[in-house]
């Protein structure tokens, strides 16, 4: 009897460990951000030590080494609250990503789509209308689901007496091939990963005696790994990694940093300064309050070369003996939360 109880206990422990490794999630229309919600994302222009992992359930992804080279702030609004409510009358959500660009979205219980966007350049409005609407996700969206679609937009302009048409045709394929836990500087989240390939055919045409003549055409391929989450404090998209055509070079990473409701500054002033950068001699870490902070330095293959407590408000680190390259300087608080990450260059 005791042996049977032990076996049952072992099975339960194994099942619990599998659950803790990341529950399977299902993305629905309830996870679409609501108007009035704002998000801050980080852009890492040279991601180091990131492994997208294998397909399958129960995966764990470590994105804690991502560094913010650029902050991207964007907000969701009702289309009627934008300066361009009439261009996409069936849109029921808009996203404002800069002072001059608005994306127009539509969602219901079955689909989440991008209808197009409006950009303003030198006082002139440019409207990009997708045909058909670009599918962001079908709902419900879960592990094993696939999306394939062809869509395009055309843009016609007249300048100097010439009428020019630019056409962008995209073939997109997406497959949700893994789920698990994603660790970010902002926290740990249940996540669903999709592998995405986009083939773009860009062509330029000029109108001659009423007929369109092809001037140039190019074909390019972009590959992504995208991670989605159902966490109510995060936009649907958690992390996006962009790869080259052969999947061999990780070109950039965009990732969730923070969210808020209402009006707030998108740039938060850091109380920690790391300088000089680049440096081949010393680097200094200056902070208003150093108590409870730890320093980690990570090299370009993910090895921790320094891990120590910060003991002064102007900590100094010698890099004279370091190999040339790019390192990650990470400041961690008493709760093991990463509060600052920066790349430092040793020439």
Percent of the chain with pLDDT over 90: 57
Q: Which two tokens stand for residue 298?
A: 């990570």
Angle CA(248)–CA(253)–CA(258) in degrees, nearest 5? 160
The string of DSSP codes covering 119-141 is: EEETTEEEEEEEEEEEEEEESSB
The answer to whether residues 162 and 177 touch, using CB atoms and an 8 Å cutoff, is: no
Looking at residue 30, what DSSP letter applies?
A: G
What's the pLDDT score for residue 315?
A: 92
Tell me: the pLDDT tens digits for 138-176? Answer: 999 999 999 999 999 998 888 777 899 999 999 999 999
The string of DSSP codes covering 246-297 is: TS--EEEEEEEEEEEESS--SSPPPSEEEE-SS-SSEEEEEES--TT-EEEE
Alpha-carbon distance 325 to 114, whole Å? 40
What's the pLDDT score for residue 86?
A: 87
Q: Does position 261 have pLDDT exceeding 80, yes or no?
A: no
Given pLDDT bands bounded at 50, 70 and 90, which one contains residue 223? very high
Q: What is the pTM of this model?
A: 0.77
Question: Domains plus CATH for the chain?
Answer: 29-261 (2.40.360), 272-346 (2.60.40.10)
HSE toward the beta carbon, residue 19, CA cutoff 13 A: 6
Tell me: the pLDDT tens digits for 268-306? Answer: 435 788 899 899 999 999 988 778 888 989 887 777 889
Average pLDDT, the chain: 86
Residue 297 — φ and ψ, nearest 5°? Answer: -120, 130
List Cβ neighbours of 194 (8 Å cut-off, separation of 6 or more): 174, 175, 176, 177, 224, 225, 226, 227, 228
Tell me: the pLDDT tens digits for 200-220? Answer: 999 999 999 889 999 999 999
Among 19-33, 261-275, 299-313, the least confident range: 261-275
Give CA separation, 308 vs 154, 190, 289, 302, 319, in Å: 56, 30, 16, 17, 15
Tell me: the pLDDT tens digits for 77-133? Answer: 888 888 888 899 999 999 987 667 899 999 999 999 999 999 887 777 889 999 999
What's the pLDDT score for residue 6?
A: 44
Q: Does position 14 have pLDDT exceeding 70, yes or no?
A: no
What's the pLDDT score for residue 132?
A: 97
Q: Does position 238 have pLDDT exceeding 50, yes or no?
A: yes
- Tell me the average pLDDT across 24-47: 92
**Which uninterrupted H or E stretch holds 16?**
helix 2-20
Q: Does position 264 have pLDDT exceeding 50, yes or no?
A: no
Residue 300 — φ and ψ, nearest 5°? Answer: -75, -5
Q: Does position 4 have pLDDT exceeding 70, yes or no?
A: no
Q: Beta partners for 275?
A: 284
What's the pLDDT score for residue 22?
A: 57
Alpha-carbon distance 43 to 302, whole Å? 19
**Which uninterrupted H or E stretch holds 14?**
helix 2-20
The 10 Å Cβ neighbour count of residue 255 is 24
For residue 72, which of 102, 47, 103, 97 has the smallest C-alpha distance? 97
Tell me: the pLDDT tens digits for 51-86? Answer: 999 999 999 999 999 998 888 888 898 888 888 888
- Tell me the average pLDDT across 186-196: 96
């Amino acid at each position: 009897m005791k042996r049977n109880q032990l076996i049952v206990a072992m099975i339960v422990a194994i099942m619990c460990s599998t659950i803790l490794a990341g529950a399977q999630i299902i993305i629905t229309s309830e996870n679409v951000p609501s108007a009035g919600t704002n998000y801050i994302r980080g852009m890492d222009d040279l991601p180091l030590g990131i492994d997208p992992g294998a397909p399958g359930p129960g995966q764990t992804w470590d994105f804690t080494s991502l560094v913010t080279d650029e902050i991207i702030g964007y907000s969701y609004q009702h289309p009627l609250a934008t300066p361009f409510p009439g261009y996409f009358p069936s849109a029921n959500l808009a996203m404002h990503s800069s002072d001059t660009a608005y994306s127009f979205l539509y969602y219901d219980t079955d689909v989440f789509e991008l209808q197009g966007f409006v950009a303003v350049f030198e006082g002139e409005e440019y409207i990009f209308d997708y045909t058909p609407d670009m599918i962001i996700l079908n709902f419900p969206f879960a592990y094993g689901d696939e999306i394939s679609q062809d869509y395009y937009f055309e843009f016609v302009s007249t300048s100097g007496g010439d009428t020019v048409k630019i056409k962008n045709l995209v073939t997109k394929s997406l497959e949700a091939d893994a789920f698990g836990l994603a660790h970010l500087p902002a926290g740990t989240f249940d996540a669903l990963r999709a592998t995405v390939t986009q083939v773009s055919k860009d062509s330029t045409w000029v109108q001659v005696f009423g007929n369109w003549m092809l001037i140039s055409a190019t074909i390019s391929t972009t590959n992504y790994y995208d991670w989605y989450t159902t966490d109510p404090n995060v936009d649907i998209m958690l992390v996006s990694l962009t790869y080259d055509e052969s999947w061999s070079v990780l070109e950039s990473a965009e990732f969730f940093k923070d969210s808020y409701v209402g009006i707030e500054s998108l740039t938060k002033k850091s109380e920690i300064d790391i300088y000089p950068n680049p440096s081949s001699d010393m680097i200094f870490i200056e902070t208003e309050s150093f108590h409870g902070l730890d320093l980690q330095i990570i090299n370009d293959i993910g090895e921790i070369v320094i891990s120590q407590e910060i003991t002064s408000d102007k900590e100094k680190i010698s890099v004279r003996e370091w190999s040339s390259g790019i390192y990650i300087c990470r400041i961690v608080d008493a709760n093991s939360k990463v509060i600052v990450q920066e790349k430092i260059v040793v020439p």
